[in-house]
Amino acid sequence: MENITPQLYALLVFMIVGSIVAIETRNLLSAVISVAAVGFALSVAFLFLGAPDIAITQLVVEVLVLIILIRGTILLDNTAVESHRDTLAVVTSLIFFGLVLGFGAMIFGGRGFPEFGEPLMRVSRVYVHTGLPATYCANIVSSVILDFRAYDTMGEATVLFTSILGALALLRKDGKRKEEEVVAA
Amino acid sequence: MTVYFMCIVLLTMGLYCLVAKKNIVKKILGIVIMDYAVNLYIIIVGYKTGGVAPIIEPNMPAATLERFVDPLTQALVLTSIVIGLGVLSLMVAMCIRLYEKHGTFDMSVISKLRG
| CB within 8 Å: A140 and B54 | yes
In this structure, are residues A63 and A43 in contact, taking their beta carbons and an 8 Å threshold?
no
Mean pLDDT of chain B: 88
- Would you state the pLDDT for residue A18? 95
Asked if A108 and B4 come within 8 Å (Cβ–Cβ), the reply is yes
Residues of B (45-104) whose Cβ lies below 8 Å from A: 45-57, 65, 67-79, 81-90, 92-97, 99, 104
| pLDDT reported for residue A10 | 93
Domain-located, residue A74: yes
pLDDT at A86: 73
Higher pLDDT among residues B82 and B114, named by residue: B82
Q: Which domain holds residue B43?
A: 2-113
Contact A156, B83 (CB under 8 A): yes
Interface test with A, best of B55, B97, B98 (most A CBs within 10 A): B55
What is each CA distance from A50 to A1, A79, A142, B11, B35, in whole angstroms? 11, 41, 15, 22, 20
| pLDDT band (50, 70, 90) for residue B1 | confident
Backbone angles phi, psi at A58, to 5 degrees: -60, -40
Distance CA A159, CA A152 (A): 11
Identify all chain B residues contacting A54, using CB atoms and an 8 Å cutoff: 39, 43, 74, 77-78, 81
- Determine the residue of chain A that is closest to B35 in CA distance: A39
Q: Are the CB atoms for A142 and A57 separated by under 8 Å?
A: no
CA distance A135 to B108: 54
More confident residue, A9 or B102: A9
What's the longest Cα–Cα distance across chain B?
A: 68
pLDDT at res. A40: 94
Interchain contact, B82 vs A160, CB within 8 Å? yes
Q: How many domains does chain A have?
A: 1
> Angle at which helices A122-135 and B71-102 pack, to 10 degrees?
100
- Yes or no: say if A125 and B48 are a contact pair by the CB < 8 Å rule: no
CATH number at residue B76: 1.10.287.3510
CB contact under 8 A, A51 and B77: yes
Assess if residue A16 is contained within a domain.
Answer: yes
Q: CA-CA distance, B110 to B115, in Å (whole number)?
A: 7
Write phi, then psi, for A174 (nearest 5 degrees): -105, 115
HEC profile for chain B?
CHHHHHHHHHHHHHHHHHHHCCEHHHHHHHHHHHHHHHHHHHHHHCCECCCECCECCCCCCHHHHHHECCHHHHHHHHHHHHHHHHHHHHHHHHHHHHHHHHCCCEHHHHHHHCC
For chain A, residues with pLDDT lower than 70 are 1-2, 75-85, 109-112, 174-185
> Do A76 and A70 form a contact (C-beta atoms < 8 A)?
no
pLDDT digits (tens, 9 = 90+) for B43-96: 998 888 888 888 888 888 888 888 889 999 999 999 999 999 999 999 999 988
- The fraction of chain B above a pLDDT of 90, given in percent, is 37
Residue A37's pLDDT is what? 94
Handedness of CA A91, A97, A102, A105 (dihedral sign): negative
Q: Do A54 and B29 touch (CB under 8 A)?
A: no
Would residue A29 count as lying in a domain?
A: yes
How many domains are there within chain B?
1
Neighbours of B113 (CB within 10 A): 10
Report pLDDT for A117. Answer: 78
State residue A120's pLDDT score. 81
CB A16 within 8 A of CB B17: no
Boundaries of domain holding A28: 1-78
